[in-house]
Each structure stands twice: as C-alpha cells, then as structure tokens.
C-alpha cells in the first residue's frame, strides 16, 4: 500500500510529497492556513499560504510574515501535489483545504459550520476519500436554533435594557463571532459600542468589503453616560473587568455554543446566555461528512472519542487524530469560548 498523502506529526498535519504542513502548531518552513484564529494561524513559520480574505487579519495578528493569498477554488501545484481552498463557513476567509495526488484526495476541514450566517462565505462540501474533521460540538445534545430566532432574543434583551436606560454587555471573541453578532443586531435600538480588539477586527473586515453596522470604539475619553441604552460587544475576558465597570446598570450576555449546556451557563454566570456557534452542531457535522462521500474520517478536536465511535458504528472507518487546536470556542474551560 502506498504511503498516505497526509500524515500526522508532532508539528501538525504534514504532506511529505508536497513538503508542507496544514495549520501546524510548531514552526515549519511552509504552512497552509485554514483561517486566522490563533490556534490555527500561529507565528514562526517560514511561509504562509491562505485565502485572500484570511490574510489581512493574519497579518494584523502575526505581524510581518511572508505570506501569499489565493482565491477560493484556485489550484496550486506544490511539489506535484494539487492544493485548493474551499469555503468553510466558519468566519470570514475561512477555508477547507483540498489536497490531491494521483487520484487520492484528502480534505482538511479546519473549523466549519454548515449553515449560512449572511456574513462569511458559506460552507461548500468537497468530495474526497479522506476527511479530517473538527468535532468541537460532536454530541447529539448540540443542536443549533435558526439564527433569526437567536437574533430576536438578543435584540429583545438589548431593547429591554435600553428602555430601562442601561447597557447590554455582550461577550464574544473578537474575530468572527463579534462580527456575526453585529450582523444580527438591529441598529435602530440604539448605539453599538465595541472594545478595542473587536473594533480593530471590524476595521480590517470593513476594508475588505464585509458589511457591518456602524460602531463606536470605547476609549478612555468616551462619555459612556451619554450613550446609555447602547449594546457593548467585548471579548469575554473584558466582562467583569475594570474595563466593563464604567457601564452602569448593565446586563451581561454571553454568545457561545457552550451556552447550550446549563452547567457551563451557571459557571460562566452571565445574566443571559445565547447559543450562537461558528462551528457545526451534531447534525451539521454528520451532514458535512455524508456530503464529502468519504469513507475514512479523522476527527481531530472536540468530542473525538464519542464522535469517532458513532461514525464507526454507522459504517465509516474513523480514527481519532490528536491535535493541539483549541482556542476560541473549542473547550468549555477556554477564556474566549
């Protein structure tokens, strides 16, 4: 039997024939990156390849890197291996990576969700024989409600706070989730304020043509008292901090897939928990796998053992692949979940 096209090493997913890694977690010479979240786009690589849409925020986070952008669907020959990027639906610019040689096709999902959110490029299934998939929310208990219904909940909570002359503080990580929430808000309710990291990302995405409502960055000299009734979006670490104490009569909310679990909602302690995830739920994961047509499935991060066991029971050849992906919404104990 020929050696597999992709192998799993202590530096990450590696293609020996093409001599490149995909989302490596230790420095390598050539890195193909699925998206800009810090657990997938790490510093120290010799060269980076990502979608045009992912690169601006990667450069913002990583500094002066040697990087090249490609369009979705564009193919590159790397050491005789054909590589292309396909929308993952996770955050703006996110991609699945398709790798092909001699009729053998692998797809590395990166992080993904299968339902369109109206902001980022919608997920597209890619046919392959081998599918390396995340399973952050790989339990049947995770079943997402329609985005429109969750948007109604968030806007109603904000409107109630605004009517009482207070603030609605909403925790969400600064790349992807914050912008998706902005896309879900009704700006007619009141002004929208943002913490600095969120606003910096907003500016990068607006410059690329992504449409977001107007926002006001919270700075030390901003008179927040004059903006009572505003909704404030900030990273979860800012909630309950000195930064957030300037907002009097405030209700806190937290947007994450983990809010589907009552115990985690209690531990986090927000006044309101909104179930919004940029990852696929149980049915989304299974549907994505079916659409690839792959027989060989490699769950990476999340509920890997349980998910792989289910896949094997229903006829797939599934094996767990340990990785060092974590970060923004991969663990209920993460600060930015």
The domains of the chain, with CATH numbers, are: 7-142+278-329 (3.60.15.10), 147-274 (3.40.50.10890)
Give pLDDT < 50 ranges for the chain: 1, 330-337
How high is the pLDDT of residue 65?
A: 98
CB 321 within 8 A of CB 8: yes
How high is the pLDDT of residue 336?
A: 33
Provide the whole-model pTM. 0.94
Specify the long-range contacts of residues 201-207, CB closer than 8 Å, at least 24 apart: 201/57, 201/60, 201/174, 201/175, 202/178, 204/56, 204/57, 204/60, 205/57, 205/92, 205/179, 207/56
How high is the pLDDT of residue 280?
A: 98
DSSP secondary structure string for all residues of 97-149: EEEEETTEEEEE--S--SS--SSSPPP-----SEEEEEETT-STT--PPPHHH
Tokens, residue 118: 């109206």
CB 113 within 8 A of CB 278: yes
Q: What is the pLDDT of residues 152-211, one digit of tens each?
A: 999 999 999 999 999 999 999 999 999 999 999 999 999 999 999 999 999 999 999 999
Give the phi and the psi of residue 240 in degrees, each rounded to 5: 80, 0
Q: In what order do the strands lie in the sheet with 47-51?
A: 7-9, 12-15, 20-22, 30-32, 47-51, 67-70
Q: Cα(11)–Cα(170) distance, rounded to whole angstroms?
A: 36
Q: What is the pLDDT of residues 70-98, one digit of tens each?
A: 999 999 999 999 999 999 999 999 999 99
**Rounded alpha-carbon distances, angstroms, from residue 304 to 28, 203, 307, 320:** 26, 36, 5, 6
Residue tagged 């990450």 (tokens): 12
């Amino acid at each position: 039997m020929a050696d597999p096209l992709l192998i799993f090493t202590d530096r990450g997913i590696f293609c020996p024939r093409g001599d490149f890694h995909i989302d490596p977690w230790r420095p390598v010479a050539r890195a193909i990156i699925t998206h800009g979240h810090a657990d997938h786009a790490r510093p120290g690589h010799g060269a980076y390849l990502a979608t045009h849409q992912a690169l601006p925020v990667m450069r913002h986070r990583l500094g002066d890197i040697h990087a090249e952008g490609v369009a979705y669907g564009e193919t590159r020959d790397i050491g005789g291996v054909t590589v292309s990027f396909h929308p993952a639906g996770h955050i703006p610019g996110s991609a699945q990576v398709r790798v092909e040689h001699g009729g053998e096709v692998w797809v590395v999902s990166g992080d993904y969700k299968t339902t369109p959110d109206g902001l980022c490029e919608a997920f597209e299934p890619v046919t392959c024989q081998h599918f390396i998939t995340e399973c952050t929310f790989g339990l049947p208990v995770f079943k997402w409600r329609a985005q429109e219904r969750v948007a109604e909940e968030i806007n109603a909570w904000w409107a109630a706070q605004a009517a009482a002359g207070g603030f609605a503080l909403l925790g969400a990580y600064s790349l992807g989730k914050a912008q998706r929430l902005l896309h879900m808000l009704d700006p007619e309710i009141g002004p929208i304020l943002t913490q600095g990291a969120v606003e910096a990302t907003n500016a990068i995405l607006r410059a690329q043509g992504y449409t977001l409502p107007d926002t006001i960055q919270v700075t030390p000299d901003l008179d927040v008292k004059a903006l009572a009734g505003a909704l404030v979006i900030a990273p979860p670490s800012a909630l309950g901090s000195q930064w957030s104490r300037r907002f009097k009569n405030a209700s806190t909310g937290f947007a994450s897939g983990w809010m589907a679990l009552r115990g985690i909602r209690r531990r986090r302690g927000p006044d309101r928990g909104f179930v919004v995830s940029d990852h696929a739920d149980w049915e989304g994961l299974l549907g994505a796998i079916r659409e690839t047509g792959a027989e060989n499935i490699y769950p990476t991060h999340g509920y890997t053992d349980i998910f792989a066991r289910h896949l094997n029971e229903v006829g797939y050849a599934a094996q767990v692949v340990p990785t060092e992906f974590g970060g923004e919404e991969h663990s209920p104990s993460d600060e930015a979940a």
